[in-house]
Amino acid sequence: MKKIGLLFLLISAFVFGQQSALEQKINSIIKDKNATVGISVLGFENGFKYNKNADKKLPMQSVFKFHIAAAVLDYVDKGKLSLDQKILLDKTNLHENTWSPLRDKYPQGNVKVPLSEILEYTVAKSDNNGCDILLTLIGGTQTVQKFMNSKGVKGFQIKFNEEEMHKDWNAQYENYSTAVSATDVLKKFYDGKLLSKKSTDYLMKVMLSTSTGKNKLIEQLPENTPAARKTGASGKNNAGLTGAENEIAIITLPNGKHYALAVFVSNSTETDVVNCKMISDISKSVWDYFNK
């Protein structure tokens, strides 16, 4: 029994030492930065947890498009919507002066496209018009909130769509998540506790094809590392403040295991380059920890 107890203590000390090293590395990345940085790491198979400022309610920006897509796919699972159904794009829903690759593809509108295309543009390309079209289809942000509440997702709130956030800088702070909520919902998603297997596999594939924010979580990871991710960014206001520079992801390791990572950089006066580099460096540190 004494040998078993000693072995346990040695293993515990080793694990604590590694976690302490990760803590030191992350502290060195964010020190002296004029920003609030919320971080959560969750190892899926080994249950590893690392959290820093992870209970702070920070603005999601476009990270919420993951939650919206999940709510839309819940409607698909229930037969209320179909990914094949056609949605009319026109001047009423293809707004100008907002990030919209969908509008760039169909600048004149007056075309019907499948719901799947709108969802894929919304998640993988972070399309703002697509986002609001999806919200209109399911009855608004309150439908997303009720769905997440029903799945036991805590520390999450959604009140405003993209158009409303564009009109009021402060609205983004009402669309918040904690970092630990983000990794928790990603684990629920991965475990099939949010959606059917078909919808889970579909959304995972879409997230793996995300093309935005390549200078953030995936920048320093080995090429072609599977990362099912969703980015978010507010840009800067006239006072030079960044409300949010974010990313959440499920990352697959070379050994086939997985972890979720959420990094939320909020209320930062640092440059966009510095904000994104923080996320990139934190991601690399976590990757190195899991690959020791």
Could you list the active site residues?
Answer: 62, 162
Task: Please return the burial class of 134, using the count of CB atoms within 10 Å of its CB with bins 0-12, 13-18 and 19+.
Answer: buried
Query: Which tokens hold the place of 68?
Result: 């919206």
Residue 177's nearest CA partner among 60, 261, 86 is 60
> Which runs of consecutive H residues, i.e. helices, occur in 157-196?
162-167, 179-190
Give the strand pairing for 176-177 and 227-233.
unpaired
| SS3 state of residue 147 | helix
- DSSP-assigned states of every residue in 231-249: EEE--B-TTS-EEEEEEEE
Q: What is the rounded distance in angstroms from the CA atom of residue 101 to the CA atom of residue 242?
A: 23
List C-alpha distances in Å: 240 to 14, 128, 166, 197: 43, 23, 16, 44
Query: Which tokens hold the place of 283?
Result: 């991601």
List C-alpha distances in Å: 215 to 35, 120, 125, 153, 218: 18, 21, 15, 29, 7
**Is the distance from CB of 273 to CB of 49 less than 8 angstroms?**
no
Phi, psi of 93 (to 5 degrees): -125, 0
**Is the distance from CB of 40 to CB of 261 less than 8 angstroms?**
yes
**Is the distance from CB of 146 to CB of 115 less than 8 angstroms?**
no
